[in-house]
């Protein structure tokens, strides 16, 4: 082993590394330049533990980007162009990498070793940074913890690689093969919301989907989300758990809305205490149903993406029900992940929406995320119905979402029209895998509750 390798900081600090595996990877590429594509799909120059290996791999990468042949001569010439040949111990060391080396058939195994050692070093560096910040005690502990969780999560995401599968492998991966894949009875059904036309148009909310429910303030975003959550948790056919993260309302306020909506009791009468015997009986029945319902509410202010991720994983591991829905109320109130000093709010909100989409896919749970709209619908002359462009600080919200739905209540804009009272529309403005359109609903003011219009009950059965 060379003197440079022995004095490299990674060895002095005892960081995980495997020089033999790194030499095998580099030597294999020098022996067969086509092997670089295999290595580059999993490794970057920073994954090598010592400087000279990083430099050699980087010059190989430069040659590949220019579509030039990779071998001992071309790599040596590339190193000389950057005055780096001496820093990698010259031609002698470069020649030693593939000298006498047979064709390697298990290159993937060596690549995996190099990648794993690199991941261990990155975790050590991330932990050292966390320890340093803790020792200085200059930042809020919650911020340090959130950053540490975020850094480790990024390491996990960077390690995960999507695997390209042939159509045959996809079919074979289905239990029962091609016939099972084609069987309509085995199609994955989404979680029903209780709103029949919405479920008919969407097939329900499917695992891994990000659903954005947006509206102007006081249109009923929270009410509609809670109505859906209540249906999921109390569905007699197959109740599922619901996690509600509220950054705007307290647990008690949400519970009040749920119990009054379920018991069909005027919220104002409930708060004032003026209830008759029938209302008290309905509230008692609603409370009994809610007591047993698997609805989990978190009203922690300043909840971050990492907080939600950690709490959901813990919930899934401990509860007896399948997690059927996650509700976040609402997107713009969430603290954004740190994107640097030059970031703006649009980028930050975009990072939040992207993070929730990735989380929904990872946890295999639909995310119903509430979002504010800009003032554009109110300023629009004539038709005040929301549009996708009205999403506040939209950034990549529209791009990340599988569905975008808007709540529109015409009575808000035409208060003198008594005939419009209680009319509501759920506008499905985007659906990645289905149609868009308008869904008529009824809004019951006194219960803060949305319901299906009477005519839809003659059509499709409830999911």
Can you read off the two tokens belonging to residue 400? Answer: 């990340």
Can you read off the two tokens belonging to residue 269? Answer: 């009468």
d(CA 402, CA 364): 14
User: Of 118, 143, 167, which marks where a domain is finished?
Assistant: 118
Cis, peptide link before residue 384, omega less than 30° from 0: no
- DSSP code for 85: T
Strands 437-444 and 423-431: antiparallel
Task: Supply the DSSP string of 111-145, one letter for each residue.
Answer: HHHHHHHHHHHHHHHHHHHHHHHHHHT-S-HHHHH
Strands 437-444 and 295-298: unpaired
d(CA 211, CA 405): 8
Is residue 302 domain-resident? yes
Can you read off the two tokens belonging to residue 307? Answer: 């907080």
Residues 451 and 328 in one domain: yes
Residues 395 and 262 in one domain: yes
d(CA 354, CA 358): 6
248 is catalytic: yes
Residues 198 and 84 in one domain: no
Beta strands in 81-222 (DSSP E): 210-215
Residues 8 and 91 in one domain: yes
Bridge partners (DSSP) listed for residue 355: none
- Are 19 and 49 a contacting pair, CB within 8 Å? yes
Instruction: Give the CA distances from residue 182 to residues 166, 174, 190, in Å, rounded to whole numbers and listed in that order.
Output: 17, 10, 18
Is residue 138 domain-resident? no
Instruction: For CA atoms 36, 40, 43, 48, give the dihedral sign.
Output: positive
Q: What averages of pLDDT result for each successive group of 10 residues across the chain (463 residues)?
A: 45 77 90 85 88 92 86 91 90 84 77 91 89 87 76 66 65 68 62 85 87 86 89 84 87 84 81 80 84 86 79 81 87 67 66 82 89 78 78 70 87 79 86 86 84 65 48
Q: Phi first, then psi: give them for residue 300, nearest 5 degrees.
A: -65, 125
Is residue 109 domain-resident? yes
Residues 374 and 275 in one domain: yes
Instruction: For CA atoms 424, 429, 430, 431, give the dihedral sign.
Output: positive
* Residue 443's CATH number: 3.40.50.300
* Per-residue pLDDT, 12: 52
Domain range for residue 381?
A: 189-458
* Per-residue pLDDT, 48: 93
CB neighbours (10 Å) of residue 74?
A: 16
CB neighbours (10 Å) of residue 189?
A: 12
SS3 content of the chain, % helix, strand, coil (to 5): 55, 15, 35
Is residue 73 domain-resident? yes
* Per-residue pLDDT, 157: 58
- Are 108 and 38 a contacting pair, CB within 8 Å? yes
* Residue 103's CATH number: 1.10.860.10
Instruction: Give the CA distances from residue 353 to residues 55, 129, 330, 346, 397, in Å, rounded to whole numbers and listed in that order.
Output: 37, 27, 11, 11, 6
d(CA 402, CA 430): 7
- Are 355 and 337 a contacting pair, CB within 8 Å? yes
Is residue 170 domain-resident? no
Residues 86 and 204 in one domain: no
Residues 113 and 200 in one domain: no
Residues 93 and 211 in one domain: no
Nearest to 45 by CA among 55, 33, 34: 55
User: Of 88, 118, 148, which marks where a domain is finished?
Assistant: 118
Residues 272 and 390 in one domain: yes
Is residue 212 domain-resident? yes
Cis, peptide link before residue 310, omega less than 30° from 0: no
Instruction: Give the CA distances from residue 368 to residues 103, 126, 404, in Å, rounded to whole numbers and listed in that order.
Output: 53, 32, 10
- DSSP code for 191: B
Residues 114 and 198 in one domain: no
- Out of 248, 279, 322, 398, pick the active-site residue: 248
Can you read off the two tokens belonging to residue 20? Answer: 């033999």
Is residue 114 domain-resident? yes
Residues 324 and 416 in one domain: yes
* Per-residue pLDDT, 345: 66
Is residue 56 domain-resident? yes
The total number of structural domains that make up the chain: 2
User: Of 118, 138, 159, which marks where a domain is finished?
Assistant: 118
Residues 325 and 442 in one domain: yes
- Burial pattern 440-450, b for ≥16 Cβ within 10 A else e, equals ebebeeebbbb
Q: Which residue has the tokens 């979680």?
A: 191
Can you read off the two tokens belonging to residue 31? Answer: 């022996």
């Amino acid at each position: 082993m060379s003197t440079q390798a022995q004095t490299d900081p990674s060895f002095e600090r005892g960081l995980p590394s495997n020089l033999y595996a790194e030499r095998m990877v580099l030597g294999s590429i020098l022996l067969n330049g086509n092997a670089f594509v295999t290595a580059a799909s999993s490794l970057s120059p920073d994954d090598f533990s010592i400087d000279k290996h990083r430099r050699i791999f980087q010059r190989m990468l430069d040659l590949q980007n220019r579509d030039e042949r990779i071998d001992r001569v071309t790599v040596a010439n590339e190193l000389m162009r950057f005055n780096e040949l001496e820093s990698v111990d010259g031609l002698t060391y470069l020649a030693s990498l593939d000298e006498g080396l047979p064709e390697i058939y298990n290159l993937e195994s060596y690549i995996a070793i190099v990648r794993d050692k690199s991941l261990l070093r990155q975790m050590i560096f991330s932990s050292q940074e966390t320890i340093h910040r803790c020792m200085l005690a200059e930042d809020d502990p919650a911020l340090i913890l959130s950053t540490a969780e975020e850094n480790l999560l990024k390491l996990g995401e960077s390690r995960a690689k999507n695997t390209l599968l042939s159509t045959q492998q996809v079919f074979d991966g289905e239990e029962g093969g091609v016939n099972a894949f084609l069987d309509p009875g085995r199609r994955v059904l989404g979680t029903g919301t209780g709103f029949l036309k919405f479920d008919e148009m969407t097939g329900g909310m499917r695992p891994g989907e990000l659903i954005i429910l947006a509206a102007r303030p006081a249109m009923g975003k929270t009410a509609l989300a809670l109505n859906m959550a209540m249906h999921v948790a109390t569905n007699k056919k197959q109740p599922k758990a619901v996690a509600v993260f509220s950054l705007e309302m307290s647990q008690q306020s949400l519970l009040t809305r749920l119990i009054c909506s379920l018991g069909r009791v005027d919220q104002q009468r409930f708060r004032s205490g003026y209830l008759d015997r029938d209302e008290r009986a309905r509230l008692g029945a609603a409370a009994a149903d809610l007591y047993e319902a698997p609805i989990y509410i978190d009203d922690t202010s300043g909840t971050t993406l990492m907080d939600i991720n950690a709490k959901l994983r813990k919930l899934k591991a401990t509860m007896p029900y399948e997690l059927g829905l996650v509700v976040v109320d609402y997107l713009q109130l969430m603290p954004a992940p740190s994107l640097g000093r030059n970031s703006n709010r649009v980028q930050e909100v975009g990072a939040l929406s992207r993070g929730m989409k990735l989380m929904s896919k990872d946890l295999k749970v639909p995310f119903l995320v509430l979002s504010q709209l800009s003032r554009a619908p109110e300023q629009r002359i004539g038709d005040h119905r929301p549009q996708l462009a009205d999403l506040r600080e939209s950034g990549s919200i529209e791009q990340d979402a599988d569905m975008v739905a808007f709540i529109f209540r015409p009575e808000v804009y035409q208060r003198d029209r008594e005939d419009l009272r209680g009319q509501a529309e759920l506008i499905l403005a985007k659906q990645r895998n289905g149609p868009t359109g308008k869904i008529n609903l009824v809004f019951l003011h006194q219960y803060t509750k949305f319901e299906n219009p009477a005519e839809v009950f003659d059509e499709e059965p409830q999911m």
